[in-house]
Structure 1
Amino acid sequence: MRLKPALHRAAIWGERAFDRAFPAKTPENPVLDTYRGYGVPDGIVLRARVLASLRRTTPDPGQSRWQNLRQMASLFLTHEVADVTVVAVESGLTAVSDEEGYITLKIPGEFAPGWHRITLEIKDVPDSRVVAEALVPSADARLGIVTDIDDTLIQTGAYSLAKNLWTTFTGSATSRRVFADATVLLDHLSGHGRNPVFYVSSSPWNLHAFLGKVFDRAGLVPGPIFLRDLGIGENQFISRGHGNHKGGAIDRIMAANPDLPFVLIGDTGQHDAEIYLEACHRHGGRIDAVILREPGSGPDDASRNAISTMRRLGVIVAHGTDFGQVAEALERGGLQI
């Protein structure tokens, strides 16, 4: 238990020593990379990152795996820019980028349901102007959906590190496979777009635009995406754990939508059953159902125990190798969509 704090301190010291020895040049024209934001009871939350330049993949079905690897690797070679003031043009509200370049900006007010487009720019740099999007759920929404991505929606092999890395780095937006049953299920649960869908993954924010392309190509319901910072900082070492990240995202999403019950979707390959059980304990009565895909060798004892416990708590749990029978199971359990 003492080793990780020591490694954390050593990593911070090493990073600072490297920065002193090889100081990065402040870019003359930093840019903004925006991420899908979300509504809260008293406004909307926008998210973005200040970078030296944007990096994007150019999907081509004819590309080799080597070309895909080069493009995907380039997404992680970002130069983040700290201490930059970002302005929401219409309101004049500002935020300052942190050590990893991230900004979070809350715009207070009442916003109509739907997607809102807010103009952001780096202070005193009009050419940096971009549009950030945020979703305010419909007043007619009956529930919210939080779904994992890897091996829940997209075939990844996240339960195997080697398979996950190979799939991630040698695929493209045209080759990544979204399960057809996941597209159908999300459309059904969302009431064809009436109920909000939130996507949560342990993948880094560097993949936000890439995942957006994959989702759009597959026809998935548009929704805010919650990814993970893999940097080294005072409050984290490389990243928070998968469970902490996913649990924290669920907490923020449910706090942002206090009047909605939720359905959680995941898989048994990365401890989602245990993570969702903990969420059920924290948010007693607000999680109506849990849906789990069973990739690889299927659920282990911890997942099976978590499923049994959630059912004893009164949560509808549907699980299997695919989502083909989920709608019927939810209907039998009395879920109102």
Structure 2
Amino acid sequence: MTIKLRLARIATAIERRVDPIVQRKRVASVLEPYIGYATPEHLVVRGRVLGRVRKGTVRAEQNRWTNLRQMLSLFLTNEVSDITVHCDEYSAISDDEGYFTILVPRDERVGWVEMIIHTGQVTAICPVFVPFAGASLGVISDIDDTMMETGAYSLWRNLWTSLTGNALTRNVFPDAVVLMEKLFENGRNPIFFVSSSPWNLHGFLDQIFERTGLPRAPKFLRDYGISETQFITGTHGDHKGRAIDVILTANPALPFILIGDTGQHDAQVYSDAIQRHPERIRHVILRAPGRGADAEDMRYVDAIRHLGVPVTVDADYTTAIAALR
């Protein structure tokens, strides 16, 4: 038995014994909404039920120790399971990690739709983006080292950057903002962000996007829960692949552009997605951070091109932006 598998089973056993004790003391005091999306049949209303949320005032000049404490506090969630959350006459029950998804029949509304969700006396507004009929394409983009500098290609650099910065100091690539503005076309084309960042960072990422001008859009982040077979459930590639499948299925009439980087095997993930969804991907754009694309990255880039999909690989988005012009 591998060390990871042993850790997973030990962690699961501890979690099962502790959760019933903790749950008795929990009440739903916060509904944390996540940006929802639309399918041909439904509005997908998403969020999480929490017992509390720790928030602190953020200043650009605060020291790294303060940043670290505030970032770690985002992970000290008190999630609440088995809570019924309502939206109109529809409802869902929060799972073991507090997550819920409510499917509301789609009507004629497009653009940003605000859905009121509630449980008991706790109420929140969940924004849902519904693409316009005139959309010409959709965009699926990674975030780390694609939209903003993270150093995800290096574990320790990634941890240092992620935990010691804050929403006012994180560096978003200026050319990434230009690229997304051109693809977004003032809201005409839907954009979706897929990242291995945990759902705990949803609000944090929203703040960064609003500050830097990146489009507000549905995000598909990762659940870092524990299962009996994995210490952290799922893998980076599995998560991204599933999210891409969900987005393409939700928008069956649109071709898509995939944007990522060469630091986390996005070329391989995108190559696999293109094979699962032939004729759906129009172009792949890859940023090459750090030392750039290695031989394995380029092998998958060549595989994508062999499938008939053009790929732009560069240290920045200059070439991709010029092609859009």
TM-score class, shorter:
over 0.9
Q: Classify 1:57/1:243 alpha carbon distance in 2 versus 1 (closer, same or farther; 3 Å).
A: farther
Contact 2:29 2:52 in 1 (8 A): yes
What aligned pairs does 1:104-115 form with structure 2 within 5 A after superposition? 104-115=101-112
Contact 2:262 2:289 in 1 (8 A): yes
Aligned length: 325
Alpha-carbon separation, structure 2, partners of 1:189 and 1:235: 40
- The question of 1:220 aligning with 2:214 is answered yes
Alpha-carbon separation, structure 2, partners of 1:101 and 1:181: 37
- The question of 1:65 aligning with 2:59 is answered no
- The question of 1:103 aligning with 2:100 is answered yes
Contact 1:117 1:131 in 2 (8 A): yes
Give the aligned residue type for 1:13.
A
- The question of 1:297 aligning with 2:291 is answered yes
Question: What are the ranges of 5 or more consecutive residues in structure 2 without an aligned counterpart?
Answer: none
Q: CA deviation at 1:296?
A: 0.7
Alpha-carbon separation, structure 2, partners of 1:45 and 1:69: 33
- Structure-2 residue corresponding to 1:36: 35
Question: What are the ranges of 5 or more consecutive residues in structure 1 without an aligned counterpart?
Answer: 332-337
Give the aligned residue type for 1:288.
R
Secondary structure of 2:283's aligned partner: strand
- Structure-1 residue corresponding to 2:47: 48
- The question of 1:156 aligning with 2:155 is answered no
What aligned pairs does 1:37-186 form with structure 2 within 5 A after superposition? 37-88=36-87, 91-122=88-119, 125-126=120-121, 128-186=122-180
Give the aligned residue type for 1:274.
Q
Identical residues among aligned pairs (%): 49
Contact 1:48 1:103 in 2 (8 A): yes
- Structure-2 residue corresponding to 1:320: 314
Q: CA deviation at 1:211?
A: 0.2
Q: Deviations over 1:216-272 (max 9, x none)?
A: 001111110111111114686422100000111101010000000000000000000
- Structure-2 residue corresponding to 1:13: 13
Secondary structure of 1:322's aligned partner: coil
Alpha-carbon separation, structure 1, partners of 2:18 and 2:123: 32
Q: 199, 203, 211: which one pairs with 2:205?
A: 211
Give the aligned residue type for 1:271.
H
Q: Deviations over 1:117-153 (max 9, x none)?
A: 000011xx22x11100100001110100000000000
Secondary structure of 1:212's aligned partner: helix
Q: CA deviation at 1:13?
A: 1.4
Q: CA deviation at 1:192?
A: 2.8
Alpha-carbon separation, structure 1, partners of 2:142 and 2:12: 31
- Structure-2 residue corresponding to 1:189: 183
The TM-score, its normalising length taken from structure 2, stands at 0.95
Secondary structure of 2:200's aligned partner: helix
Q: Classify 1:261/1:241 alpha carbon distance in 2 versus 1 (closer, same or farther; 3 Å).
A: same
Q: CA deviation at 1:112?
A: 2.0
Secondary structure of 1:254's aligned partner: helix
Q: CA deviation at 1:113?
A: 1.6
User: Which aligned segments of 4 or more residues in structure 1 are displaced greater than 6 angstroms?
Assistant: none
- The RMSD of aligned alpha carbons is 1.7
Q: Classify 1:307/1:75 alpha carbon distance in 2 versus 1 (closer, same or farther; 3 Å).
A: same
Alpha-carbon separation, structure 1, partners of 2:312 and 2:113: 34
Contact 1:111 1:136 in 2 (8 A): no
Give the aligned residue type for 1:210.
F
Q: Deviations over 1:148-189 (max 9, x none)?
A: 000000100011111111111111111001100000001111
Q: Deviations over 1:41-81 (max 9, x none)?
A: 01210111000112334321121111111111100001110
Give the aligned residue type for 2:58.
P
Contact 1:293 1:319 in 2 (8 A): yes
